[in-house]
């Protein structure tokens, strides 16, 4: 006689990048094992790969490609899945800023962690009086490749991320789609920018939405209370 099937509840959230509503389920025991094994390695690339694998299984809404979602969408989605799966509170070890060595364990309510949005952020970069560029957010795949794959130089990493995020280059009369350009052509276009123009592109990445949470921590040795800002998924799973 076959064992009974267990009904798994589903939940809904809104993706921060585009406002699209998606349905998801909590992760199961087999998926939790994948995460635990990745966390034990303390390797951020393995942890990130595990997160993507788990989310791919937990997304109920069809047509959602996890690997193409913006990094902060994936982080926000994972925190919500984790909250509904194993509890709404996690314990994070934080190094006290005043002596930079004492570690304190702080409980954090996952529901209180939000995506921080900079009011000055825009995906339109104005290069000069006539030429502008529309950018798109880097995917988690691009984030992993640029940060955790060995054998790449920092400059080439930066260039690769920037060119992969170019959507359209345009002026009042014409537009050029990045999808119709080669990697070399896009790199040559970026190379001809002056420092001020390049800084406007950097601002897009600096002000991009991010997972952020502010906590107060008191050093038990010095009695000094400090405020610490945690940003990015890795900060909550240290």
Q: Using one digit for the tens of pLDDT, what is the confidence trace for 1-33?
A: 788 877 889 999 999 888 899 999 998 888 888
Same domain for 95 and 44?
no
In tens, the pLDDT along 144-156 reads 665 555 444 456 6
**Is residue 27 domain-shared with residue 109, that is, in the same domain?**
no
Mean pLDDT of the chain: 87
Asked if residues 204 and 217 have their Cβ atoms less than 8 Å apart, the reply is no
Cβ neighbourhood burial of 100 (10 Å; 0-12, 13-18, 19+): exposed
Residue 39 maps to which CATH number? 3.30.2220
Same domain, 216 and 113: yes
The verdict on 227 and 176 lying in the same domain is no
Range of the domain at 61: 1-87
- Mark whether 104 and 174 lie in a shared domain: no
- Enter the tokens of residue 207: 């002000």
Tell me the C-alpha distance between 58 and 79, whole Å.
12
Q: What is the pLDDT of residues 206-236, one digit of tens each?
A: 999 988 899 999 999 999 999 999 987 777 7
The predicted structure's pLDDT at residue 184: 92
Query: Span 155-181, mean pLDDT?
Result: 89
Q: Are residues 4 and 51 in the same domain?
A: yes
Residue ranges in 67-153 assigned as alpha helix (H): 71-86, 140-148
- Are residue 76 and residue 100 in the same domain, yes or no? no
Using 50, 70 and 90 to split pLDDT, how confident is the model at 128? Answer: very high
Residues 236 and 238: their CA atoms lie apart, in Å, by 6
User: Do 176 and 235 have their domain in common?
Assistant: no
> Exposure of 178 by Cβ count < 10 A (0-12 exposed, 13-18 middle, 19+ buried)?
buried
My answer on whether 69 and 8 are in the same domain is yes
110 with 151, same domain: the answer is no
Q: Same domain, yes or no, for 152 and 193?
A: yes
**14 and 79 assigned to the same domain:** yes
pLDDT of residue 2: 82
Number of domains the chain is built from? 3
pLDDT at 154: 56
Nearest to 132, CA basis, from 76, 180, 174: 174
H/E segment holding residue 114: strand 114-116
Centroid of chain to Cα 22: 17
């Amino acid at each position: 006689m076959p064992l009974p099937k267990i009904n798994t509840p589903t939940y809904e959230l809104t993706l921060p990048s585009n406002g699209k509503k998606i349905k998801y389920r909590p992760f199961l025991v087999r998926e939790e094992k994948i995460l635990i094994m990745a966390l034990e390695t303390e390797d951020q690339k393995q942890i990130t790969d595990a997160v993507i694998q788990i989310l791919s299984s937990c997304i109920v809404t069809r047509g959602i490609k996890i690997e193409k979602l913006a990094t902060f969408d994936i982080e926000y989605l994972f925190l919500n899945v984790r909250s509904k799966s194993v509890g709404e509170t996690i314990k994070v070890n934080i190094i006290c800023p005043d002596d930079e060595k004492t570690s304190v364990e702080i409980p954090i309510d996952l529901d209180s962690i939000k995506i921080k949005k900079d009011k000055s952020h825009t995906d339109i970069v104005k290069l000069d009086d006539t030429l502008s560029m529309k950018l798109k957010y880097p995917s988690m795949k691009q984030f992993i490749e640029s940060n955790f794959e060995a054998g790449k130089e920092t400059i080439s990493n930066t260039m690769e991320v920037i060119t992969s995020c170019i959507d359209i280059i345009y002026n009042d009369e014409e537009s050029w789609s990045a999808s119709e350009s080669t990697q070399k052509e896009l790199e040559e276009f970026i190379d001809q920018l002056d420092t001020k123009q390049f800084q406007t592109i950097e601002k897009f990445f600096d002000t991009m939405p991010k997972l952020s949470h502010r906590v107060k921590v008191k050093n038990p040795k010095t009695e000094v209370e400090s405020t610490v800002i945690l940003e990015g998924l890795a900060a909550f799973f240290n």
